[in-house]
Structure 1
Amino acid sequence: MSSWQDEPHLDIIPRTVEEAARIGAVTAPTTDFNAPERFEQKTGGAATTRYLDTADAFSQFSANMPFESELKFKVGNGIFRKLWVGAPSSTKGSDGLGPLYNARSCQNCHIKDGRGHLPENPDDSRVSALLRLSIPGGGGQLLIPDYIPTMPEPVYGGQLQDLALEGYLAEGSIEIEWSAFPVTLADGSVVELRKPLFRIEGYRYGAPQDGLMMSPRVTPQMIGLGLLESVPAADILALADPGDSDGDGISGRPNIVWSDEFGRPLLGRFGLKAGKPTIREQSAKAFADDMGLSTPLFPGPSGECTPVQADCLNATAGQEPGIRDGLEVDGQALDLVTFYARNLAVPERRNLDDPAVLRGKEIAYSIGCTSCHNPKFVTHRLNGQVEQSFQLIWPYTDMLLHDMGDGLADNRPESRATGREWRTAPLWGITLNRQVTGVENYLHDGRARSLIEAILWHGGEAQAARDAVVGLSTEDRKALLAWLESL
């Protein structure tokens, strides 16, 4: 086994031969669509929380969490929601923000632990959307096969910071122009798709280097992350078919990424291109890039500041000897946020036995949706993580990279992910974001305003499934959407 397939972030109890056989039988795709499968309502296994018809649907903790861990979750939530301020400040527990940043708190981006959204007009907030930046080149990575060399843009870094503390210049602003075009379905219905064109307005530190690659991102929902982190790497890799050996047109590949936490390559699991291997590392990187806060993994107090931004590099840091281990976010705070993110629970399914939902499930399986949106996994048996240990989960993702075609391409590689590849998004709780945040949007940049729009943007490996949806009868299309809404 290659070292990048190791899972040093987990304390694993190996499966027995008998367990592996049972798991294989349980996770095999169903062929019976006359009734719900056993345990299907509990999307996140025993960690599944009851469905709430409020904006708090994504903010519940794992239902199997021991009582003594609830305080840890709530303190982690407090740090996740904390509004950070610039240094120096009298509030020494909350200073160190920026001076260039994208948000003042984690919750600002992950609205009520759900998705962010694009601004619909010039006055809308941009705080839950951002632009990743890079240019071709930089050093290679011999330990990562098929690694695509890129480097942060020398002037603006790896991410555009569009906010700044008083006395500092934000790097620029994100501007969006929309174009629209119709798609006609087989029953004569017309769906209007909209495509965003992103640009940076008002470069404050000079022109960027030639070859700038920009990738717009809307923050994803937070539920079920700990369960996805606990899926065995071997089970994810068993779904990969990089050469399309079975000829079904689907060729999922794992992203292999460098882990700053462990100092070696690991399987990528988190982020829209599976660019981070663990929740802890993903959280630490967000503290650094989004808020300019130092952590044990990224101890530099200047966040994303580049050598061109001398004022930013020389700004007063929120690091004082003897306070927070000399960091802005110390190890204990990072661990509490990680625990919080790991235990945001998945709500239970609704309407499982509705005939339309069952018919929609059958359609999804028959037209190939589950070739990428893999229905089921069983997580590792774990020491010290009862909430995630040995759970049958239904995330509807394979956590692999897939070529999604020109329409969704950002043309910006990330480790070994190409500019056309994206990690399969989990489908659990997919339509509840409208309830949680008040905005319905889908895909990496939030361009799709409905499920049917999101489906119609699928191309590349998903083109055949997308075309099958276009050809559905009105009744069958409604059934498919009813199934998705039940997730």
Structure 2
Amino acid sequence: MAAAFFAAACSDDKGGGGEPTPPEISEKYYAGGLLGTAFNTTSVAYEQPTPAVNNAGMAQAFLNGEALFEKPFTADDTGVRKGLGPLYIRTSCLHCHPGYGHGQRIEGQFNTNRIGNGYLLVLFDEDDNYLTSFTGMPQTQAVAPFKPPIDETKIMISWHDYTDEWGNKFPDGESYGLIYPEVSIPEDAYYVPLIGVKGAIPYSGVNVRLESTIGIYGTGLLDAIADADLKDEYIRQEQAGVSLNPAIFANGNWVKTYAGTSHPLRFTYALSRGPLQDAAGANAIWNITNVTRSNRRYHYMTDAYAQVASRDADVQQDFYRLFPAQNKTGNVEADIYSYLMAPDKDLAVEMSDDDYVDFMVWHRGLAVPAARDLDDKIVQQGDVLFNKIGCATCHRPTWTTGEDRYTDPSGFFADADSRLPRYPNQKIWPYSDMVQHRLFMQNDIRTGWCRTTPLWGRGLSRKCTGADDRLHDCRARTVIEAIMWHGAAQSDARSTVEKFRELSKSERDAVVKFIEAI
């Protein structure tokens, strides 16, 4: 039946802007709209191409990009996936995104070679500023003779029980558990000095948090939401008295946009990225692996690291042997520093333009799994309650994409470049307002502000990734735990959680079943 649905959704194929003929089912099943939904509920549900990809004849490019995502890069100087390092975070994207979904909760040693560990370290000072001696996503791996900025074998993750003000119980007596992570990094694990925006800081002044990856399916559809519509959502919430991050939006206008452009910030928990063509995977395929390409012809690196490594006797001893082409002056310290901090023209391109285009076809072309069981009476009851108690205030159910004349601030892709799939005028169901809110959780995310994570497709997480972990650091093991972490006294979702607590068990179960169905 799924195959029949998919075939129907792909008929009348005329290219990226064509309107396929839909099966005769409710539009709410089309989580990604007619051009962005895949009717697949198997363990590869997150990995499907959108109808728009197939419409535009991009199926092979999608498969090529998929291989770049899934397979490891190497430190070789030849081959398709060459150029890993000199520092890196993971050897492949799949390490962080098991089954293309959310990262998994990890306990004990912080081991980046473990498939499913989607954690990125967040290092910041007492004023919530990132440490400047480390890259924004700190690296814990290196290619010989270099040493990692942080020795990950010494990083440990521990989990602690938390009891909320209600004693982790609903009024009818049903209980739930809450846990949160703490990260410990001993001082001797740091290879580089601890430097913040105001200069050197003491070891005691360093804060460490975890942020996990989220599902990457449907990111092209989120990119297709018009900038003006995102602004309208901020205006609507501001006028309704919702607390907004003043560093992002205030008094009816943007305070901060992406990289000096007119584009609003829309991707990552911290809203650090704008258009998809210069965000999320477009950034990660470079800085996670440190593989250069024509529009990123430099290393993901800090000057603080280059200074330390260039003076390291161990690195100096083997540098010319392992990097003979870099013996340019005979001054090994100068040559090491120059290699690490080389200007664009002095570094070879390791990922070809064709490979990068294929990767972005894949990235922009990942479909959203169709919703499931929406004709179930309990799911329908949960839908009503989800809206009634206020969940939909932040987890906004629907958007309609714009013309999707996408842009690329990096200049690699032209506006609405024909090499990438497009999703114009699609009604989509991500269940996110794309806005940051605060939950005031124990050991909270840096700054406390976190973008509302889309809920679409999350009910398939265990089948696709092997885990149900939710929230920014995987602290929620179930939907109930995720909801109850929204309930702190100062939380923006406090009133919704209070109403959720007053529901009967069958009503709470209905809300959970609905969330798992969408």
Q: What's the TM-score bracket when you normalise by the shorter of the two chains?
A: 0.7 to 0.9
Task: Give the CA deviation at 1:297.
Answer: 4.0
Deviation at 1:110, TM superposition (A): 1.5
Residue aligning to 1:269: 266
- What residue is the counterpart of 2:178 in the other structure? 193
Give the letter aligned to residue 147 of structure 2: L
Q: Which residue of 2 aligns with 1:238?
A: 232
Pick the aligned partner of 2:210 from 213, 216, 231: 216
Distance in 2 of aligned mates of 1:285 and 1:200: 26
Alignment deviations for residues 407-435 of structure 1 (CA, whole Å, 9 cap, x no partner): 3632x3xxxxxx11111111100121211
Match of 1:177, SS state, is strand
TM-score by structure 1 length? 0.79
Alignment match, 1:427? 455
C-alpha deviation, 1:213, in angstroms: 4.1
User: Which one of 338, 349, 356 corresponds to residue 360 of structure 2?
Assistant: 338
The structure in which a higher percent of residues are helix is 2
Counterpart contact for 1:48–1:348, Cα < 8 Å: no
Deviations 1:79-136 (A, max 9, x none): 222311114x4x3432221122111111221222111123134486374211123447
How high is the sequence identity, in percent, across the aligned residues? 26
Q: Determine which of 138, 150, 157 is the counterpart of 1:160.
A: 138
**Aligned partner (choices 397, 401, 410) of residue 432 of structure 2:** 397
Partner of residue 219, structure 2: 225
Which residue of structure 1 aligns with residue 42 of structure 2? 54
1:436-475 → structure 2 map (5 Å cutoff)? 436-458=464-486, 459=488, 460-475=491-506
Map of 2:74 onto structure 1: 85
Matching of residue 347 in structure 1 with residue 369 in structure 2: yes
Cα distance in 2, alignment partners of residues 243 and 127 from structure 1 = 35
Mapped to 2, the partners of 1:176 and 1:57 lie a distance apart of 30
**Partner residue, 2:277:** 280
Instruction: Confirm or deny: 8 A CA contact 1:133 1:212 kept in the other structure.
Output: yes
Distance 2:465 2:438 in 1: 29
RMSD: 3.2
Who is 1:94 aligned against?
81
- Corresponding residue of 1:109: 96
- Alignment-derived partner of residue 179 in structure 1: 160
Distance 1:448 1:304, change over 3 A: farther
Q: Where do residues 11-26 of structure 1 align in structure 2 (5 Å cutoff)?
A: none
Q: What are the Cα deviations for residues 431-481 of structure 1, in whole angstroms up to 9, with x where unaligned?
A: 212111111100011111000101111141111112221221101001000
Instruction: Decide whether the 8 Å contact of 1:99 with 1:302 is kept in 2.
Output: no
Q: 1:212 to 1:295 in 2, by over 3 A?
A: farther
Aligned mates of 1:275, 1:104 — CA distance in 2: 23
Q: Quick one: which of 166, 191, 203 aligns to 1:205?
A: 191
Unpaired stretches in structure 1, ≥5 consecutive residues:
1-12, 14-35, 138-147, 413-418
Equivalent in 50, 64, 72 of residue 75 of structure 1:
64
2:182 corresponds to which letter in structure 1? L
Letter paired with 1:217: E
- Whether the 8 Å CA contact 1:98–1:303 is kept in 2: the answer is no
**2:444 corresponding residue in structure 1:** 409
Contact 1:251–1:461, Cα closer than 8 Å, also in 2:
no
Contact 1:75 1:336 in 2 (8 A): yes
SS at structure 1 position matched to 2:85: coil
Q: 1:131 and 2:115 equivalent?
A: no
- Cα displacement string for residues 275-307 of structure 1 (whole angstroms, at most 9, x for unaligned residues): 100222223421343212223443213545733
- In the superposition, relative to structure 1, how do residues 69 and 360 fare at CA in structure 2: closer, same or farther (>3 Å)? same
Could you say what secondary structure the match of 1:133 adopts? strand
Q: Structure 1 residues 39, 73: closer, same or farther in 2, change over 3 A?
A: same
